[in-house]
Structure 1
Amino acid sequence: MHDDPSRPFSRPDRRGFLAVTGAVTGAAAFGALALSGCGSPSPDAPGKGDGTPRRGGRLRAAFAGGGASETLDPHRTNLFADAARAKALFDKLADHGADLSAQPRLASTWEANRTLDRWQVTLREATFHNGGPVTARDVLYSYRRIADPKQTFRAKASLEPIDLDASRATGNRTIEFVLKRPTAEFPNVLAAFGAYIVPEDFGDGDPAAYDKEPVGSGPFRLVSFAPGRSTVLRRHDDHWDGAPHLDELEIVVANEESARVNALLGGQVEYAHELNPTTARAHEGGGQIEIVRLRRSAMQAFAMKTDRPPFDDPRVRQAFFLIADRQELVDGALSGAGEIGNDLFGKGYEYYADGIPQRGQDLARARSLLRQAGAEGLRVTLNTSAVAAGFTEAASIFRDQAKEAGVTIDITMGSKDSYWSDILDHGTLCCYRSGAMPIEAHISQRLLTGSTTNATKWHHADFDALYQQAQSTRDTSGRAAVYDRMQRRLHTEGGFLVWGFADWIIGTARRVRGVDRKAPANTLNWARFDKVWLA
């Protein structure tokens, strides 16, 4: 697996990958939804109307799965189903709120020194499922396990700023993290995807122990796990954030969207993850099920290589910005399930430069810029793939838009299995997609000279220096001003043509309550089953 956070929503139409890991086999049949138990609340469950949480019952949630590759090891999560199970069983020190700012979880407080290269983190009082306390030693063990050079855990790249050899426990619930450089956004590291806390020396280092009897500090504990079929979890009454309302949670596997929808309509499940826009339109505003749209969950873009012709000329990049009819792309490629972008990542997230005017289509200006660049009659290849929903449609729509500006686009279809690695280094123009992450993480992982997932080959020493300036700025408003300056430059001459932001769509039974409607996919309140109840 590649530690590449540029791919958290690849292959959403079939297997719901959070990262491309190669071909997945063993698609589960609908028969995997032969479920035990029922979803009804206990007869004596309290509650005064639908607005008051009721205790009891089992909620059954259908996700696309990965067959035998599924795991309960929280540091190996790649599938949405894996992530939902990890969130139920384990905790992180922090997690991302709806605006992608870091929110405390197992960490009750964090405080930096004057130079922002040492952070003191204090843990709240919390217990693992075996009754043992969550300690500073557990945190350091977990992070060192993730950072093991022999492993390919997804969170490894996120933890890179920490000098784990120098970091130490200063008390049972206090840790001094020593960093390799000033990092004002260090709480984002604590919230990194997959950075879950496990007990020190759990399973004596045997990875299989996590799938047999995982011990976490999350709101649910394991009852049973059958990869590719079903996972049953029971309420952890001593959870630090309060016991879940549900008695039990069952995560079942249904790889086909039609299977998830039919199970929801037939009452076999109460929650169906990852529905398509056609399904949403058919059931929204009435009927048997409730549609939940998680807005701005995925950036949709074309990535232009800024280090090679023709996109090494900023005038050509600016022309392509002006060729795009963003609303047509959203309507055609996303079936209207999203909103237009403005050539910047992270719309609605913390630090987003929303003061920059929305860019629109201007074919006359685009043709003028191409003439100035000596690129009249330009012909360019656009790489796309069926690896993500809407990619092939977006490529065709943009090809037709470019034709109106005198640009010929030749579309090349790439392999689902190798597309993401192929486009990092090869080609000049490609379809691109990204899930939710802090704007700071997007910059550090994709736009710095040393970034390993720099798909646009944006290499500028002065831009790198601005990032370091932001990370060395204690004052939040001062840091925001630096990020604004960086985004204005990207809007003018960057390599990402961000044309839209896609909704992530979930369906629930009408008696399901407590599902957060504002959290983008893969943030704190996404798949937050400890706060859901059955009315």
Structure 2
Amino acid sequence: MHDAHVPGLRRRGFLAATGVASLGALALTGCGGSGGEGSDAKGDGTPKRGGRLRAAFAGGGAAETLDPHLANLFADAARAKALFDKLADYGADLSAQPRLAEKWEPNKTLDRWRVTLREAAFHDGSPVTAADVLYSYRRIADPGRAFRAKASLEPIDLDASRATGRRSIEFVLKRPTAEFPNILASFGAYIVPEHAGEAAGFAGGPIGSGPFRFVSFTPGRSAVFRRHDAYWEGAPYLDELEFVVADEESARVNALLGGQVQYAHELHPATARAHEGKGRIEIVRLRGSAMQGFAMKTDRAPFDDRRVREAFFLIADREELVAGALSGAGVIGNDLFGKGYEYYADDLPQREQDLDRARALLKRAGAENLEVTLDTSEAAAGFTEAAGIFRDQAKRAGVTIDVRTGSKDTYWADILDNGTLCSYRSGAMPIEAHISQRLLTDSTTNATKWRHEDFDALYRQAQSTRDPAERAAVYARMQRRLYTEGGFVVWGFADWILATAPAVRGVETEAPANTLHWARFDKVWLA
């Protein structure tokens, strides 16, 4: 699912970022505090057991998979979360939270980490062991396979890592890594049983340790799962969960209105406004779930001049972009990724449009009457609208922007190395991951071509710093530099919107996409 490195979220897809990675993912959620016994996120009584919930997602036809290490589409990722577990997952602030891992502890030099597993069982009753974890990670890292979490696991020396007990693992790292728990929470880093191996098939009867057990799967049509009563975090309230495919938004909404499904994934802001408060369906907004912006290539003219980049920061009217491109379904940005996430530099002044200063900067840079091409496409909602709005804003500063609309199918690959300015989007991920994947000299999804050895050194310093406060200070220093001279014009953070039937309970609304709380169908019930 390409969103732009999600962080490359396709319109029908899931997670990761530009060129391949962006996610931008999300869905129905239920966090530990709102879905438990005796609680109700909507305030409508205690949880109720039983029933089947049908959830409508856009699909991928024959390419759909139950292999959790291949999950790319939103539907694939949601199904993987129902069947499998990771060692950790991201909390609402994108910090790593323990899941199958009960705890983790580093050595003094942060290049060895001991992980202790909790007592948990696979669907066939066998225990989740250290051997299963190492098998799963080595499978993901197989150089002959294209698994999504492979790059995330790169810091681990899997040949040297070993089981030190049935439920304990010593991970040996190639370099100090203070944010090692983020690796455990990586998208797609699910644990599968060693004894099943490739014979598990993932299509014919996958075995996981998640809250639901496999019943049936027809790619491009549906998947049915049944409650796993022995789930380590407590059995789901639902008896069964069915995923159905409806590629068009109108089909998902109509199925919800007609009672054929109880959950519809991925709604447009205009659709949400049309139905919100009418009583027939419930609109759920997951705030701040997708960064929206423009990427300037800092290694080529005109954006190799920091004065031009600063001018473009000042051209953007963020309120107008959020209102027009997102139909108001979001909040303004401040040219930094990760608003509200762990380590976010929220002490920097909110940047506002200043066309006079933008003109002065362009004049000093010798870039008066600048003409530049802005690449965009329909690869993500709001892209073409934002490009048009920004073109008009730039015109008032004396800048002519030619908006070039490319193919949505190849957009993320096309803009990774080509052009000078492009529309960009990214789903939720830790700020540390955003830096490592997109802003280091050797980052493979570096859309802004930000390459500075001293910046790389600061990242290594942060990863070698054991004290969290001292580490946060290094990240703050890095963000201050990006704020003044970086290549991302981050104008907003979009809500992700879904809808449910009025009878659906236990939906958590406070966490962004790509977190532990996304797609928590095990915490949902039917009133």
TM-score range, shorter chain: over 0.9
List aligned pairs for 1:19-34, cutoff 5 A. Answer: none
SS at match of 2:390: helix
Uncovered stretches (5+) of structure 1, i.e. residues with no partner: 23-44
- In the other structure, the counterpart of 1:16 is 13
Paired residues of 1:7 and 1:420 also in contact (CA < 8 A): no
CA offset at residue 202 of structure 1?
Answer: 2.2
Paired residues of 1:329 and 1:397 also in contact (CA < 8 A): yes
Paired residues of 2:14 and 2:77 also in contact (CA < 8 A): no
* 1:334-357: CA deviation from partner (whole Å, max 9, x where unpaired): 111111100000001000000111
Higher relative contact order (CA 8 A, sep 6+): 2
Uncovered stretches (5+) of structure 2, i.e. residues with no partner: 20-36
CA offset at residue 7 of structure 1?
Answer: 3.8
- In the other structure, the counterpart of 1:6 is 5
The TM-score normalised by the length of structure 1 is 0.93
SS at match of 1:212: coil
CA offset at residue 325 of structure 1?
Answer: 0.4
- In the other structure, the counterpart of 1:187 is 181
- In the other structure, the counterpart of 2:158 is 164
Among 240, 247, 250, the alignment partner of 1:248 is 240
Amino acid of the structure 2 residue aligned with 1:251: F
Among 467, 490, 499, the alignment partner of 2:459 is 467
- In the other structure, the counterpart of 1:51 is 45
- In the other structure, the counterpart of 2:442 is 450
SS at match of 2:85: coil
CA offset at residue 522 of structure 1?
Answer: 2.0
Task: Label 1:191 to 1:249 Cα distance change in 2 as closer, same or farther (>3 A).
Answer: same
SS at match of 1:302: strand
SS at match of 1:300: strand
Matched, 1:257 2:249: yes
- In the other structure, the counterpart of 2:24 is none
- In the other structure, the counterpart of 1:218 is 210
* 1:408-441: CA deviation from partner (whole Å, max 9, x where unpaired): 0111111112111111111100000000000000
Amino acid of the structure 1 residue aligned with 2:468: T
Amino acid of the structure 2 residue aligned with 1:169: A
SS at match of 1:445: helix
The separation in 2 between residues aligned to 1:178 and 1:11, in whole angstroms, is 35
The separation in 2 between residues aligned to 1:46 and 1:517, in whole angstroms, is 18
Paired residues of 2:64 and 2:76 also in contact (CA < 8 A): yes
Among 368, 372, 378, the alignment partner of 1:380 is 372
Amino acid of the structure 1 residue aligned with 2:147: F
Matched, 1:512 2:476: no
Matched, 1:368 2:367: no
- In the other structure, the counterpart of 1:151 is 145
The separation in 2 between residues aligned to 1:97 and 1:413, in whole angstroms, is 36
Matched, 1:502 2:501: no
CA offset at residue 47 of structure 1?
Answer: 10
* 1:2-39: CA deviation from partner (whole Å, max 9, x where unpaired): 9x971446333xx23435999xxxxxxxxxxxxxxxxx
The separation in 2 between residues aligned to 1:284 and 1:363, in whole angstroms, is 37
List aligned pairs for 1:77-476, cutoff 5 A. Answer: 77-203=71-197, 205-206=198-199, 209-476=201-468
* 1:28-80: CA deviation from partner (whole Å, max 9, x where unpaired): xxxxxxxxxxxxxxxxx999983211111111111111011100000000000
- In the other structure, the counterpart of 1:524 is 516
Task: Label 1:107 to 1:20 Cα distance change in 2 as closer, same or farther (>3 A).
Answer: closer
Identity %: 80
The separation in 2 between residues aligned to 1:336 and 1:6, in whole angstroms, is 24
Number of equivalent positions: 508
Give the root-mean-square deviation of aligned CA atoms.
1.8
SS at match of 1:121: strand
Paired residues of 1:333 and 1:393 also in contact (CA < 8 A): yes
Paired residues of 2:38 and 2:45 also in contact (CA < 8 A): no
Task: Label 1:483 to 1:20 Cα distance change in 2 as closer, same or farther (>3 A).
Answer: closer
The separation in 1 between residues aligned to 2:294 and 2:517, in whole angstroms, is 29
The TM-score normalised by the length of structure 2 is 0.94
List aligned pairs for 1:473-484, cutoff 5 A. Answer: 473-484=465-476
SS at match of 2:279: coil
Paired residues of 1:19 and 1:79 also in contact (CA < 8 A): no
